[in-house]
Amino acid sequence: MDRNTELSEFLRSRRARLSPGDAGVSVSNDSPRRVPGLRREELAQLAGVSTDYYTRLEQGRHLNVSETVLDAVARALQLNETERAYLFELTRPRPRRTVRRRPPRPQRVRPGVHALLRMLDGVSPAFVLGRRGDVLASNQLARALIIDFEALPYHERNMARFMFLDEAARSLWPEWETVAAEMVASLRLEAGRHPDDPRLTELVGELTIKSPEFRTWWADHNVREKTHGVKLYHHPVVGDMTLAYENVTVPGDPDQALCIYTVEPGSPSEAALRLLASWTATSSADPSAPSSEARPSGGPSSDVSP
């Protein structure tokens, strides 16, 4: 990802979504507006900088900008905390490379985290997400809920790839468009943090070509930090469930997140999750038991990101 181009497109997209009324800018009905949202001169005035200065910044031609100016621009654009951090990341100076950059080292899940996943099995679906949304490890209940990532080829063990390229995902998440759009925003944030990751570039390229929805949402330049929330699931065996999730950064590796699902005690979702755990245990113990084609049961989790 070219940082100058991304900075330019990100600022333009944030300016376009901000109406004069939302920004408190008075407009004249005699002056037709040819652009959505605020004009550059209006945004510059709100940020307290010259129009020429802001224009250069929006064109990606002025990356040596002070934090004071960035703060002013972020306030004028009404950025949230994630968007503000993303803006600062895009404008942060990068050291010049004198040698060819090595690809990121494979991520490994510590034995202690694997043990934690096993402890949660039968109680809570849990898995570890790495860079690019790679699924690094998972417990049996998570594999029964979503898909057996360990049974897939290494390069397919990715949550975004499953979400956009596997038809089963659209029926698994009743609110697929919301969940998928959030995934794109999470990947966009990842791209800002790791602009030189070749595998991330490859993944974005593949999804852009194969999925029109991904292509549209990627062009929106939304960014989102996924820390917690609620997702609706429609499982082919146990039916509908409402699951809350918490993403916890794994100590020692800020690029790994342990995702744990929970249900409200006494709810129909808790009963459905218990049924899924029982069905999973039965299927695992009895190889002749009928299995769900959409949710195969897998073997031990891999601890290496491809």
Phi, psi (5° rounding) for residue 227?
-115, -35
The predicted structure's pLDDT at residue 2: 79
Look-up of token digits 């990802």: 1
Radius of gyration from C-alpha coordinates of the chain: 22
Which residues, at least 6 apart from 64, have a Cβ–Cβ distance to it below 8 Å? 93
Type of residue found at 106: P
Say how many C-beta atoms besides its own lie within 10 A of residue 286's C-beta.
9
* Token code pair at residue 50: 């010259």
* Rounded CA separation 293/277 (Å): 17
Q: CA-CA distance, 128 to 248, in Å (whole number)?
A: 9
> Can you tell me the distance from the alpha carbon of 54 to that of 56, in angstroms, rounded to the nearest whole number?
5
Selection from 203, 7, 187 nearest residue 88 by Cα: 7
Q: What's the pLDDT score for residue 293?
A: 39
Residues of the chain where predicted confidence (pLDDT) is lower than 70: 1, 28-32, 62-63, 94-104, 283-306
Token couple for 162: 């499953």
Partner residues linked to 229 by β-bridges: 245
Per-residue exposure over 57-71, b if at least 16 CB sit within 10 Å of its own CB, e if not: bbebebeebeeebbe
pTM across the whole model: 0.85
